[in-house]
Amino acid sequence: MQIDKLVIQNFKGFKEHFTVNLNSGLNIIVGDNEAGKSTIIEAINLALTGLYSGRYLRNELSQYLFNESAVRDYLGSLVTDDPLPPPEILIELYIDGGDEVAFLEGDLNSDGSYCSGISLRVAFNEDYKTEYEALISSGGVKTLPIEYYHAVWKSFAREVITTRSIPIKSALIDSAAARHQNGSDIYIGRIVKELLSPEEVVSVSQSHRKMKEHFMDEESIKAINQKITEAGKITDKEVKIAVELSSRNAWESGLTTYLDNIPFHFIGKGEQSIVKTNLALSHNKAKEANVLLLEEPENHLSHAKLNQLVRTIRDNSANRQIIITTHSSFVANKLGLDDLILLSNRKTLKLNELSSGTKAFFEKIAGYDTLRLILCHKAVLVEGDSDELIVQKAYQMQNEGRLPIEDSVEVISVGVSFLRFLEIADKLGKPTCVVTDNDGDVAALENKYADYLGANAKVHIKICYDPDVDEGDHAIGGKPYNYNTLEPKLVKVNNLQVMNTLLGKDYQTLEELYTHMKGNKTECALKIFESDEPITYPQYILDALA
C-alpha cells in the first residue's frame, strides 16, 4: 500500500496545479529554502490524518493556509465587474493498494480517472451563499472570509472518510523540533510514551504518585509549607508546595529524559536529532505506519552522524514508503541519487526522467556539484576555474562588490559537461547562462547547442560566446596558439599595458603575455579577481551577466 501521486493546489506556496509522483520506497525531496518541501510533507500528513500542526484542521482554518497570490487575486477582483469565486485548497492522494483500498475507488479527482485515493478540500460552504453575497455587496472585504469555509474530506468514491477509515497510516517526524515544557522535550516525551504499553504507562503513573507522596513526607518540605502557613493569611484556602498531579498523565510533563546522566536538552543538537529520529522510527505509531514523513533529518549532523542516520532509516524502510525533505547539498550522496526528487520553481524532476547518459553522469559526480544548479535561483555555467573567477569578478564590478552567490546566483565550473547541466536546467525552467569559448569554430559550437539556439531558443537558457573568430601567427611548443579562449579575448578588449598592470608583469610583446597566461590560467585569473585595477570584460561575459 503506497501513495503513487500527490496533487496540491492553492495550499501555501503552491498556487498552480502541482503534481509529484512518488517512489514506492524511499523518496528524498531536495530543494532550496522556500521551495515547498515542508508543504509537501504537511499536505500528505494533512490528507491522511486531518491534522495540521498537531490540531484538527477544522479548528485551524486560516487565510494563511491558502496561497497568498490566490487570495490576493481574489480580493483584488472583488472591486471589479468580474469578481472571482472564493479560492479553495485541494490536496489529493492517489493510492495503490489493491483490494485493501478498493473502497476508495472513484472519479472524485482532478484527473477524472477511476482510481483509489483521498481528496481533501478547504472550500466555500454553499450553505452560507446568501450571507456571503450580502457581505460582498456591502464592499470593504479586505481578508478571506474564512468563517464561510469548511473542510471536505472524502474518498475518490465520494464517501466521507475519517482517520479511522483510511487504511494507509502516516507518522510525521520533525527531528528539528525543539519544544520544551518544564525542562522536558515534549517531542521526545511523546515518543517515549508511545513506546510504552498501557500497563507500563499505569506503572509509571503509580511510581510518579508514590514519588509525590514521598516528597510531601520529607521533613524539609513540611518545614517549608509550615513557614508558608505562618507567613500570614494569604487566602481562605490552604497554600503549600507539592508535585503536580492534577491529571492522569501529569508524569509526562514532570519527567526529563537523560542521556549518560545528562538532561536531553543539554546534549548536542546533532545527537538530539539522531535520538529523536531513532526513537520515532521504533515507536508504536511508526511501526504501524505505511508512510513515514521525515523533515530535514540531517539537522546539526556531521557526515559520519548522517551516515548512521541513513543506515537507521534504510534498516526501517521494509514495506514502508519513506518521504524525506532536505535542503542539504550533500544529502544526494548520502541517501542515494536514484531516490532523489529535485524540487525547484514548483516543478519536480527525478533522475530517471533524464536521458540515460545524463543520469549516469550525475550518479558519479559529487553531490555538491549535482545540486548547486538545483538549489540556486539562477546559474552561470563555465568551463573551468579561471572562467569561474573572471565571471565572478565581472559580476562583483557590476553589483557593488557582491559575489554572485550572495544574490543566489551560482557560477558553476562544469568542464565539458554543459549539455548535462542544461538538460536539468531546461526541465526545471531554471534561468541559466552558458559562458563558453568558441575555440575558433563557431559553426561547431552552434551545432553543439542547437537545441538552445535560433528557432529552438528557450526563454530561460542563454548561450553566450564571442561570434568573432580571431587568428594570429603565435605558436607555443610548436602548436598554433588558440586566440579564441578566455585569456586572449581578455587581452583583446584591454591591451598589453593594462594586462601587465593587472598581472604584475612587464612583458614587451603580446606573444610573451599569451604564453604566460596560457601556462598560468588559474594564477592569472586569481590576480585579476583580487585586483582593484579597472578592466574591460568581453561582451559575451557581459551578455551573460545581463
Q: How far is CA 526 from CA 41, 61, 391, 486, 534, in A?
A: 44, 56, 11, 14, 15
DSSP notation for 519-537: HTHHHHHHHHHH--S----
Predicted confidence at residue 264, as pLDDT, reads 65
Beta strand 26-30 with 184-185 is unpaired
Residues of the chain with pLDDT under 70: 174-198, 201, 208-209, 212-213, 215-216, 229, 231-259, 261, 263-265, 269-270, 272-289, 299-301, 303, 316-318, 328-337, 366-370
Between CA 528 and CA 436 the distance in angstroms is 19
Predicted confidence at residue 454, as pLDDT, reads 92
- In single-letter form, the type of residue at position 328 comes to S
- In single-letter form, the type of residue at position 448 comes to K
Predicted confidence at residue 339, as pLDDT, reads 81
Kindly give the residue spans of alpha helices, DSSP state H, lying in 435-538. Answer: 442-448, 486-493, 496-503, 510-519, 521-530
Single pTM value for the model: 0.71
Give yes or no for a contact between 74 and 87, defined as CB atoms under 8 angstroms apart: yes
Predicted confidence at residue 181, as pLDDT, reads 42
Predicted confidence at residue 201, as pLDDT, reads 67
Residue of 283, 310, 273 lying closest to 28 (CA atoms): 310
Residue of 429, 382, 424 lying closest to 404 (CA atoms): 382
Q: Which residue in this structure is represented by grid cell 513540611?
A: 222
Q: Is 34 left (phi over 0), alpha (psi -120 to 50) or beta?
A: left
Predicted confidence at residue 288, as pLDDT, reads 58
Predicted confidence at residue 337, as pLDDT, reads 66
